Amino acid sequence: MAVTETGDPVDRAEGKDIAVKFDGRRCIHARFCVTRAPASFLADVEGPWILPDASEIEYLCSVIRECPSGALTYERRDGQSEPVPPVNLISLRENGPYVVRADMSLDGEKAGFRATLCRCGASKRKPFCDKSHKYIGFEATGEPPTDKGKKLAVRGGPLAIEPEADGPLEVRGNLEIISGTGRTVACVDHARLCRCGASKTKPFCDESHRRIGFRSL
C-alpha cells in the first residue's frame, strides 16, 4: 500500500479492504484522524502517512466520518458506503466556520456529506475554510439566540448550497442550524448565510457584503 498522487490533488491510500482518500484542499487540521486512529494516520512523517490496514475497518470508517471538513473519505471493497445523514445540520463554530453535515451539493456539484465552509470572508480556498479566521481575529458567536419559529416535518433530503458571487451562501433544502453546543438555532428550508464576516445578524446575511466590498474570489 502507498499513498499515490492522482491527476487531481486528492491522495488515495489503498488497503486490503478499503481505500482512503484525502483532499488537502478541504483539510482544516482538526486532528481527529491522528489522535483517534494514530496507527492508520501518522503525524509528522515523510512519505506515506495513511495506513488503512493498521486499524479495524469499522473503527477506521467511524473515525473518518468524524472528519468535519470532508477531507477524508473512504471506499470499501464490500460496497458499503458512508451513510447519508438523517438530519441536515449546519453547526456554528465559535469564531470559526460553518460545519455542514448533509447530503449536499455545492455550486451544483455533489460535495459529499461533510464540509467546513468559510464564514469569516478571508479564506483563500472559498467556499471552504482554510483557518484564516484564526489569523484575522474573526469574532462570531457559536451560540446565537434560538429562533422559536417553525419545526421541520422532514429533516433530511438533498441540501443545495450555492455561493453567490461576492455574496452569501444561499441554502435550499431542509436544514437545522445549530449552535456549537448542539442547541437548535433555527429550522429553515431556505436561507442566505453570511460569508463576508460582517453581518450584524449572523449567521444570516444582512447585505453587509455590499457595504464592505466583499469579494468571493
Residue 135 belongs to a domain: yes
In this prediction, residue 152 carries a pLDDT of: 95
Residue 82 belongs to a domain: no
**95 lies in the same domain as 66:** no
Residue 24: strand, helix, or coil: coil
E strand or H helix that includes residue 109: strand 109-110
**36 lies in the same domain as 115:** no
Q: What is the CATH number of the domain that holds 48?
A: 3.30.70.20
Final residue belonging to a domain, choices 53, 76, 99: 76
In this prediction, residue 6 carries a pLDDT of: 40
Residue 102 belongs to a domain: yes
**122 lies in the same domain as 186:** yes
Give Cα separations from 83 to 80, 112, 211 (angstroms). Answer: 9, 11, 41
Residue 217 belongs to a domain: no
Give the residue numbers spanning the domain of 63.
Answer: 8-76
Residue with cell 501518522: 42
**204 lies in the same domain as 137:** yes
Final residue belonging to a domain, choices 76, 105, 126: 76
In this prediction, residue 8 carries a pLDDT of: 53
| Cα angle, residue 108 at apex, residues 94 and 89 outer, rounded to 5° | 30
Amino acid at position 22, single letter: F
Q: What is the CATH number of the domain that holds 165?
A: 3.40.5.90
Residue 121 belongs to a domain: yes
**53 lies in the same domain as 107:** no
Final residue belonging to a domain, choices 76, 103, 122: 76
Residue 175 belongs to a domain: yes
pLDDT tens string for the chain (217 positions)? Answer: 334 334 457 899 999 999 999 999 999 999 999 999 999 999 999 989 999 999 999 999 999 999 999 999 999 999 999 999 999 999 999 999 999 999 999 999 999 999 999 999 999 999 999 999 999 999 999 999 998 878 999 999 999 999 999 999 999 999 999 999 999 999 999 999 999 999 999 999 999 999 999 999 8
Total domains, the chain: 2
Give Cα separations from 39 to 36, 48, 63 (angstroms). Answer: 9, 12, 12
Distance of alpha carbon 62 from alpha carbon 36, whole angstroms: 10
**145 lies in the same domain as 167:** yes
